[in-house]
Amino acid sequence: MSRITLVLGGARSGKSRFAESLARQHGGPRTYIATAEPFDGEMRHRIEKHREQRAGDGWQTLEAPLDPAAVLPRGGLALLDCVTVWLGNLMHHGRDLTAEVSKFCAALEACSAEVILVSNEVGLSIIPENAMARRFRDEQGLANQALAAISENVYFVAAGLPLKLKG
């Protein structure tokens, strides 16, 4: 497996399942970096469902909704799910997305662990009707480009089927 792998796809495309299947090929310790914040009941339910799916499967889970760079392990494998939720958190908290993505990319490049990143491809749909949604779509696209540039492997998942874009 390559040191940095980016897995892109739309909502319910199978990207997380594919990323987890890549992670299971790793024989060493595995860290799951979760970025979701439980803002409402539906999100709390999703978080709990994800925890249950990983239970007993050898994962150490770390919650990092605003600074995933701070919890990157020094070895083994880390799976971050997902970049899109992390960017939404940053936007919600008024952070500078460009600076945070640059900081994260630098931390990834310095990290000795293998890292799998899950991110949504949000630019394949209609143009959002409001300025905030358009800004988010643009920031997500720029973040995906920055992460793809430093990744050895990049996959796009649609309908549960991975397509290798790089590597």
H-helix or E-strand containing 61? Answer: strand 59-63
Q: Is 72 helix (H, G, I), strand (E, B) or coil?
A: coil
Q: Average pLDDT in the 18-26 region?
A: 93
Whole-angstrom Cα distance, residue 6 to residue 108?
12
Query: Is 45 marked active-site?
Result: no
pLDDT of residue 84: 97
What is the pTM assigned to this prediction? 0.93
The CA R_g of the chain, rounded to the nearest whole Å, is 15
pLDDT tens for 47-89 read: 888 777 776 678 899 999 999 999 999 999 999 999 999 999 9
Q: Which residues contact 164 (CB under 8 A, 6 or more apart)?
A: 153, 154, 155
Which position among 26, 45, 50, 93 bears the catalytic label? 50
pLDDT of residue 118: 98
pLDDT of residue 53: 74
pLDDT tens for 114-137 read: 999 999 999 888 888 999 999 999
